[in-house]
Structure 1
Amino acid sequence: MQGPPVFIDITPEDQAQELRAYLKGLGAEISEEKSPKGIEDDLHKIIGVCDACFREGQEAEVESVLVDIVSIMVLVPLERSENIILAFCEKLTKAPGSKLGFVCLKALWLLFQSLDERSPMRYHVYYHLIIIAKATDQVKLAFRDVDYLKQQFASCPPSPEQLQKLYRLLHEVLLKSNQSEQAAKVMIELLGTYTAENASHAREDAIRCIASALADPNTFLLDPLLSLKPVKFLEGELIHDLLSIFVSDNLESYMKFYKDHKEFVTSQGLNHEQNMQKMRLLSFMQLAETNPEISFDVIKKELQLPAEEVEGFIIEVLKTKLVRARMDQAMKKVYVSSTMHRTFGRAQWQQLRDLLYSWKTNIGSVQEGMKTIAAAQLELMNQQ
C-alpha cells in the first residue's frame, strides 16, 4: 500500500500538487496538475476527492492527508475560504467508521483552533465537529461545559439562531452519551436565547427542556425553569401544570395528575414509576424543610410506601445527599440536620440572610471573647 505523502518546506501550491498526485495514486478522479485558477480551486478539487484515502482505512494516512489540507486551508484569506471550509466539514462528516471518525474529529479540532478567533467560520467548524462527536460517541473531546463553549466564541459570538441550532444538537448528543446534567444545562441555555418577543417560537424547545429535566434522575432543583420566558409561555398547558407539581407540590398531586392524564405523561417519554420515585424524594425534601424529626409512619403515609420499604427509601434518600439526616431504626424516626430546598424564593433568601447575620453575630462574640482573654493574660503577665 502506498504510504502517505510527507510535506516539508514547500509552497502551498506545491503542497497541493503533491496531494493531487497522492490522491490520484489512490484512484481518485483528479489531475496531478495545478489549477490555473489558483490554490482555492486546487483545494476544492482536493477536498472533493479526499475521501479516496478513507477507503484505504489507515488512520495515519488519513490523518496526514487531512492535516495537510488544513495547513493549506488556513493560509487562504477568510473572504475566499468560506466555501472551502464548509465543503471540508461536510466531507469529514461522511467518513465511515468510528476510527476514521476520530481522525476527522482531530482534523476539525485542528482547523477550529487554527482559525482566527474573530472568524465566523469557527462556528460552522464546531457545529460539524459536534456532528462527528455524536457519530463517534466522543463528545467529551469536543465539549467541556457551557462556560468553556462561550469562551471559545467570545471574540465572535454566533447569532441567536446559530446558538439555538448548536444547543439543540449538543442537547441531543449529551443525552445520547448519558450526560444528562450537562444536557439540562445546555437546554436551559437554549431557552435563554429566546426573548419575550419570540418566546412563542420556542414552544417545542421548552417542552423538550421540561420533559428532559423531569426524566433526569439527578435533577431536583426545577424551580429555575419556571422563570424562563419560553416556559412561562406554556402556562395553562398540561406540561406546565406537571412541571409545577414537580417544583412545589407533593406525591398525592402527581398521582391525581397521572390518573387524569396518563396518555399525556406517556406521550412526553416519561416513565410513571420513575416519576413516582422522584416525587417521593421531592416530597421527602419538602417534609424535611419544616420537620427536623419525621416518623416512619408519616413517611409511609405521605409517600404512599409499604411499611417494609420505608427504611430502604430513607437509605436511598441519604445516598443522594439531598438531605442530611440520621435514621433511628429503634425509634422509627429520622432526625434531619439539613436539606436542599426544592424552591429558592424570598423566604429562602430571608432564611439565608438570618443565618448569615447569626453567624456574623457569633463571630463577633468570639472575637470579643478572645480580646477579653488576651487582655487578661497580658494583665497577668504584667503583674508577674
Structure 2
Amino acid sequence: MQVPPVFIDMSLEDQAQELRAYLKGLGAEISEEKSPKGIEDDLHKIIGVCDACFKEGQEADVEMVLNDIVSIMVLIPLERSENLILAFCEKLTKAPGPKLGVVCLRALWLLFKSLDDSSPMRYPVYYHLLQIAKQTDSVKMVYQDIQQLKQQFANCPPSSEQLQKLYRLLHEVLLKCNQSEQAALVMIELLGTYTDKNASHAREDAIRCIVSALAEPNTFLLDPLLDLKPVRFLEGELIHDLLNIFVSENLTVYLKFYKDHKEFVTSQGLNHEQLMQKMRLLSFMQMAEANPEITFEMIEKELQIKPEDVESFIIEVLKTKLVRARMDQSSKKVSVSSTMHRTFGRAQWQQLRDLLHSWKNNLTCVQEGMKTVSVAQMEMMTQQ
C-alpha cells in the first residue's frame, strides 16, 4: 500500500506534481509532469482522477489526498476556481460506501469552512455536503438547526430559488436520518420563502409541509401553518380540511373524515393509527383547557379508549409535558394544573395580557409593601 505524500513547505505546483505522481501510482490515467497551462489545469486533471484513491487507499490515505486538494484549491483566486470547486464536489458525492462517504464529507466540510464567509461558492458546496450527508446518514455533522444554517450564509445569502432547493433537500435528508421534528421546521421555513406573487406555485411544498407536520409525533401547535401564504391557496382541498381538523377539532371529527376519505389519507403516506394517537393527545389538551378535573369516564368516552388503557394513556400525555396534571387512580380522575393551548389566537393573547397585568399589579403591591416596611424600620432606628 502506497503512503500518500505529505506536502510541507512546497509550492502549489510542486504539491500538484506530487499528487499527480501518487495518483498515477494508484493506476490513474494522468501524467506526472506539470501542466504548461498552470496550476488550474493541473488541479483540473487531478480532480478528474482523484477517485482513484477510493479504490485502493485506506480511509486515512484518502482523507489526506482530498485535504491536499482542498489546500491547493482554496489558494487559487475565486474567479479561477469556481469550476474546480464544482468538479470536486461532484466527484466526492460519488464516493462508494458510507465509510468513504464520511471521509468525503469531512473533506468537503473543510472546503466549506475554508471559503470566505462572503463567497458565493459556499452555497453549492453546502448543497453537495447535504447530498453526501443523505447518503451516509450523517446530517448531524453539517446541520444543527435552522438558525445556525442561516448564520452560515449571513454574508452571502442564497437567492429565494436556491434557498427553496436547499430546504427541499435538507427536508429529505432530515427525514432519512430520522430527524422528523427538524424536518417539519425546515418545511415551515421553506414555505416562508414564498411571497404573495409566487405562493400559488408552492402547492407541492405546502402539501409536503402539512403532511410532515401531521406525521411528526412531537408537533402539536399547528395553527401557524394556516397563516402561511402557500397553505392558504389550498383552502377547499382535502389536505387543508385535514389540517383544520388537527388545529381545532376533536377525535370524532377526524374519524369521520378518515371514514369518508380513507384512500386520500393513505395516499399522503400518513399512518391512521399514528394520527389517531396524535388526535387523542390534542383532544385531551382541549378537554384540559375547559375542565380543571377530567374523569376517567370522560376520557373513555371522548377519546374512545378502553377502560384498561386510560391510565397508560394519561401517563403518555404527562410525558409529553403538554399538560401538567395529577392522576388520582382511586377517584378515577385527573386534576389539571396547566395545559399548552392547541391554538394561540386573540383569546390566548388577551389571557396572556391579563396575566402579565396581574403580575405587574402584584409586583407593585409588593414593592409598596417593602417601602412601608423600610420606612417603619428607619423610624424605629431613629427613635432608638
TM-score (norm 2): 0.98
Match of 1:112 in 2: 112
User: How far apart, CA to CA, are the structure 2 residues paired with 1:50 and 1:338?
Assistant: 61
Match of 1:144 in 2: 144
**1:157 offset after TM fit, Å?**
0.5
Match of 1:2 in 2: 2
Match of 2:188 in 1: 188
Match of 1:293 in 2: 293
Match of 1:129 in 2: 129
User: How far apart, CA to CA, are the structure 2 residues paired with 1:16 and 1:63?
Assistant: 16
User: How far apart, CA to CA, are the structure 1 residues paired with 2:153 and 2:210?
Assistant: 27
Match of 1:382 in 2: 382
**1:304 offset after TM fit, Å?**
1.4
Q: CA RMSD in A?
A: 1.0
- Is residue 88 of structure 2 the alignment partner of residue 103 of structure 1? no
Q: Mind listing any 5+ residue stretches in structure 2 that lack a counterpart? A: none
- What secondary structure is seen at the aligned counterpart in 1 of 2:43? helix
**1:243 offset after TM fit, Å?**
0.3
User: How far apart, CA to CA, are the structure 2 residues paired with 1:55 and 1:191?
Assistant: 42
- Is residue 347 of structure 2 the alignment partner of residue 347 of structure 1? yes
Query: One-letter code of the match for 2:269?
Result: G
1:201-251 Cα offsets, whole Å, 9 max, x none, are 111111111111101111101111111111111000000000000001111
User: How far apart, CA to CA, are the structure 1 residues paired with 2:299 and 2:24?
Assistant: 74
User: Equivalent residues in 2 for 1:41-120 (5 A)?
Assistant: 41-120=41-120
**1:376 offset after TM fit, Å?**
2.2
User: How far apart, CA to CA, are the structure 1 residues paired with 2:314 and 2:113?
Assistant: 49
Match of 1:359 in 2: 359
User: How far apart, CA to CA, are the structure 2 residues paired with 1:61 and 1:33?
Assistant: 22
- What secondary structure is seen at the aligned counterpart in 2 of 1:354? helix
- What secondary structure is seen at the aligned counterpart in 2 of 1:194? coil
User: Equivalent residues in 2 for 1:167-316 (5 A)?
Assistant: 167-316=167-316
Query: One-letter code of the match for 1:271?
Result: N
- What secondary structure is seen at the aligned counterpart in 2 of 1:353? helix
**1:378 offset after TM fit, Å?**
2.5
Alpha-carbon contact 1:35-1:41 (below 8 Å) kept: yes
User: How far apart, CA to CA, are the structure 1 residues paired with 2:57 and 2:233?
Assistant: 51
User: How far apart, CA to CA, are the structure 2 residues paired with 1:154 and 1:279?
Assistant: 39
**1:317 offset after TM fit, Å?**
0.7
User: How far apart, CA to CA, are the structure 1 residues paired with 2:61 and 2:272?
Assistant: 51
User: How far apart, CA to CA, are the structure 2 residues paired with 1:308 and 1:19?
Assistant: 70
**1:380 offset after TM fit, Å?**
2.5
Alpha-carbon contact 1:57-1:100 (below 8 Å) kept: no
**1:374 offset after TM fit, Å?**
2.2
Runs of 4+ in 1 over 4 A off after TM superposition: none
User: How far apart, CA to CA, are the structure 2 residues paired with 1:306 and 1:181?
Assistant: 30
User: How far apart, CA to CA, are the structure 1 residues paired with 2:113 and 2:320?
Assistant: 39
User: How far apart, CA to CA, are the structure 2 residues paired with 1:377 and 1:331?
Assistant: 51
User: How far apart, CA to CA, are the structure 2 residues paired with 1:57 and 1:269?
Assistant: 42
User: How far apart, CA to CA, are the structure 2 residues paired with 1:332 and 1:310?
Assistant: 10
When structure 1 is superposed on structure 2, of 306-315 and 175-184 the one drifting more is 306-315
**1:75 offset after TM fit, Å?**
1.5
User: How far apart, CA to CA, are the structure 1 residues paired with 2:252 and 2:57?
Assistant: 59
**1:308 offset after TM fit, Å?**
2.1
Count of aligned positions:
384
User: How far apart, CA to CA, are the structure 2 residues paired with 1:106 and 1:223?
Assistant: 39
Query: One-letter code of the match for 2:249?
Result: D
Alpha-carbon contact 1:181-1:219 (below 8 Å) kept: yes
Match of 2:321 in 1: 321
**1:42 offset after TM fit, Å?**
0.7
1:145-190 Cα offsets, whole Å, 9 max, x none, are 1111111101111111111111111111111111111111111111
1:252-283 Cα offsets, whole Å, 9 max, x none, are 11011001000001111111111111111001
**1:381 offset after TM fit, Å?**
2.8
User: How far apart, CA to CA, are the structure 1 residues paired with 2:34 and 2:23?
Assistant: 13
**1:10 offset after TM fit, Å?**
1.5
Match of 2:27 in 1: 27
Identity %: 82
- What secondary structure is seen at the aligned counterpart in 2 of 1:327? strand
Match of 1:371 in 2: 371
- What secondary structure is seen at the aligned counterpart in 1 of 2:325? strand
User: How far apart, CA to CA, are the structure 2 residues paired with 1:212 and 1:68?
Assistant: 41
Match of 1:11 in 2: 11
User: How far apart, CA to CA, are the structure 2 residues paired with 1:183 and 1:333?
Assistant: 37
